[in-house]
Every structure is written in C-alpha cells, then in structure tokens.
Structure 1
C-alpha cells in the first residue's frame, strides 16, 4: 500500500512544487538588473583590456571588472533620478579607475596598480557609453 501511495502522490507533488518555484519569482527588481548588467559589462571589458595588455588571468580580470562595474553603478545609484539619467563621464571613469586599482591590491595584483587603474577607467568609460546611449536596455 505504501508503494502505491508513493507512486500516485510523488509525481504530482513534484510537479506542483516545480510549477510553484518557477512561477513565484516572475520579475526581479529593476535595480538588480542594472547592477548585474553593469557588473557584466565591467567583467567583459576588463577581460578584454587585460588580454590586450597581457596583464593577469581571465578570472582575475573578470572579478576586478565585475566589482568595478558594480561600483560605477553604485556611484550613480546614489544620485537623484535626474542625475542618473544624465551621467557624468568623468565620475564613471574616475570611480572605475579607483575601484579597479584598489581591487587589484586586494586580490593580490598590486604590482601593476597603474595598469589596473587604466583597466578600470576603460570599464567606467564602457559602462558610461552603454548607459548613455542605452545600447543595452
């Protein structure tokens, strides 16, 4: 009798739980999307600049770029709505350069601080361009 109940109830219970799990998180918050987008842009940009310069490994550059992208997003997220729409290129580049230099020291890539700052400035510039021209919505 126990096997009959397991065979009858378990498949429907699993189907109901899977449907509930996939339906509940219908839409994440828009702010989270922007942070993840900027972190992704930063990771890709820093991997490319690291490869061009021959600096570091792919994973380390991706981590530094992701942190830098999130910091650039955070610096703009603290401003009011009008200023978030009209971003400041100098601020994005400056925050990117500073964050990447500090992140490089923390992750153990402190021997090339100027190179890390250059990579971060490129990340800040790329994020500024993508958000200014709204290439990625």
Structure 2
C-alpha cells in the first residue's frame, strides 16, 4: 500500500509539472503590445494560434477595440499569442498582410491567416471568441 508521504509527493510533483507547463505556454504564446516586423514574425511562429490587432493612435474605432483585445488576451493567456501592430510605425507589416482599413484583427492558425475582422461591432468580442474556441 502506498504511504501518505508518497501520495503527497506525487500530488506535489503533478502540480509542479502542470505549473511549469502553464509557464512554458505563457512564454511561447506572448502578448506583444508593440510589435514590429521582427518580433511579429517571431511571435507568430511561437504559438499555434495568434491574433493580430492592426491599429493606429488616431483611429477612434481602434480605441474601442483595445479593451476587447486586452480582455481576450487575458482570458486566452498562454493559449494564443496576442500581437498589436501600429500601422503608422510598421507600414511594412500592414502592406504584407494587405491591411487596407483599420482596425483589422487577423486570426492566425499555425502561422497562416484563418480569418480577419475589419472595423468595430458590438458583437466583435463574441465573434472572435467563437473563432478562438473553434481553433483551440
């Protein structure tokens, strides 16, 4: 029969391994608020799932999306990378992904574009969550 000490040790080891796995996921699925072309591509490659927010400071609808994006980043921390790209500072990335209007949110699965959302709508948070849940 297994001793109480062995049971406790096994339970603690399991908890440590779970915590370590969560930490590794968080490290591999980052939140990058100031993406540039180098960090963007690196972060896109780190995680199976990513969502990029293409925005600009002068864009009012972009400001409406920011709290939604932040909330989703918190909810899906470690499960998906969340990347914010200021198009005024990174026009090369906007051109590469053919971003013609902002705000544009692009969902990537395994580094390839899965879908995109252009503009703001009150249902945006739910729409993005539906896509993320389907891909996870």
Higher relative contact order (CA 8 A, sep 6+): 2
Q: TM-score, normalised by structure 2?
A: 0.30
Structure with the higher fraction of residues in strand conformation: 2
The structure number with the bigger radius of gyration is 1
